[in-house]
Amino acid sequence: MKARIIAILLVGLLLLGGCRRFSALTEPLETPVRGMPDFFVHAEAELSEPDDGEWGRWPPETAAERRRVYAFGAYRSFYYDLSDETLGGAGGLSKMVVENALRDEFFIEDSDTAKDVLGWIKEDGMTLSTDIYYGSNELLLIAQGKLLPPVYMTGREEEWLREIYEEYAGALAGYGYTEDELMLVETTVAGDLDMLVTVARMSYSAGYLTEEETWEYLSYAEELATASYGSWREYLAGILFSNAFMGMEGFYDYEVADHLLDNRLSPYELFEFGPNKGVAGRNYFGWHTEA
What are the tens digits of pLDDT across the range 25-42? 323 333 333 333 333 333
Query: Please, what's the b/e burial string for 134-162 (b: 16 or more CB within 10 A of its CB; e: otherwise)?
Result: bbbbbbbbbbbebbbbbeebeeebeeebe
Distance CA 233, CA 81 (A): 21
Residue 11 or 92, more confident? 92
Does residue 264 fall inside a structural domain?
yes
Does residue 91 fall inside a structural domain?
yes
Does residue 243 fall inside a structural domain?
yes
Q: Residue 239: name the closest of 117, 78, 83 by CA.
A: 78
Quickly state the pLDDT bin for 180 (edges 50, 70, 90): very high
Query: Out of 18-32, 121-135, 139-153, which region has the weakest mean confidence (pLDDT)?
Result: 18-32
| pLDDT above 60: residue 138 | yes
Distance CA 46, CA 122 (A): 13
* Average pLDDT score over residue span 106-129: 90
Does residue 165 fall inside a structural domain?
yes
**What was the pLDDT predicted at 276?**
55
Does residue 120 fall inside a structural domain?
yes
Domain count, the chain: 1
| pLDDT above 80: residue 134 | no
Give Cβ neighbours of residue 116 (< 8 Å, ≥ 6 apart): 2, 5, 6
Does residue 10 fall inside a structural domain?
no
Distance CA 278, CA 96 (A): 39
**What was the pLDDT predicted at 159?**
92
Does residue 221 fall inside a structural domain?
yes
**What was the pLDDT predicted at 234?**
94
Does residue 272 sit in helix, strand or coil? coil
**What was the pLDDT predicted at 26?**
28
DSSP string, 126-176: HHH--SSS--HHHHHHHHTTSSPPPTTS-HHHHHHHHHHHHHHHHHHHTTT
**Boundaries of domain holding 112:** 74-285
Does residue 136 fall inside a structural domain?
yes
pLDDT tens, residue by residue, 231-288 = 999 999 999 998 888 775 553 467 888 889 888 889 999 999 976 544 443 443 433 3
Q: What is the pTM of this model?
A: 0.78
274 φψ region: left (φ > 0), alpha (ψ -120 to 50), beta (else): left
